[in-house]
Structure 1
């Protein structure tokens, strides 16, 4: 699974729209869209925020 797929799956599983997640993380919706399309990737600090928000280990973001 690639990073964009992981991020999209987790967002759907937790019931967030891209807009809602962007407000929660205080970033642009376009950034989330780019992550999910594998155009760019979130910073490590954002991965930490996402793991806290989703109550998962950072290891869940590993690309397999």
Structure 2
């Protein structure tokens, strides 16, 4: 089994807590709306530089945001 990180869940949860749209979050992070949508749907994962931007947009310490991501780890079975 390998850990799979569902960063999208953390991004969406924080976005909803702050009551901001994907478009507003994209603007705050200087990213495209498509990028935010793909992150939330776990199609792509943000770079560390983007994680820093997201944390700042949510007015969080980067370590706090990363901790939330770590807590969202889920073990999934991957075929050998």
TM-score, length of structure 1 as denominator length:
0.84
Aligned partners of 2:29 and 2:53 also within 8 Å: yes
| Structure 2 length-normalised TM | 0.70
- Give the unaligned 5+ runs of structure 2: 74-80
Higher helix share: 1
Count of residues in Structure 1 that have an aligned counterpart in Structure 2: 64
Matched, 1:40 2:44: yes
Computed over aligned residues only, the root mean square deviation of the Cα atoms, in angstroms, reads 1.6
> Bigger radius of gyration, 1 or 2?
2
Instruction: Give the whole-Å Cα distance in 1 for the aligned partners of 2:40 and 2:67.
Output: 18
In the alignment, is the contact (CA less than 8 A) between 2:29 and 2:57 conserved in 1?
Answer: no
Large movers: runs of 4+ above 4 Å: none
Aligned match for 1:13, one of 17, 26, 34: 17
Greater relative contact order (Cα < 8 A, sep 6+): 2
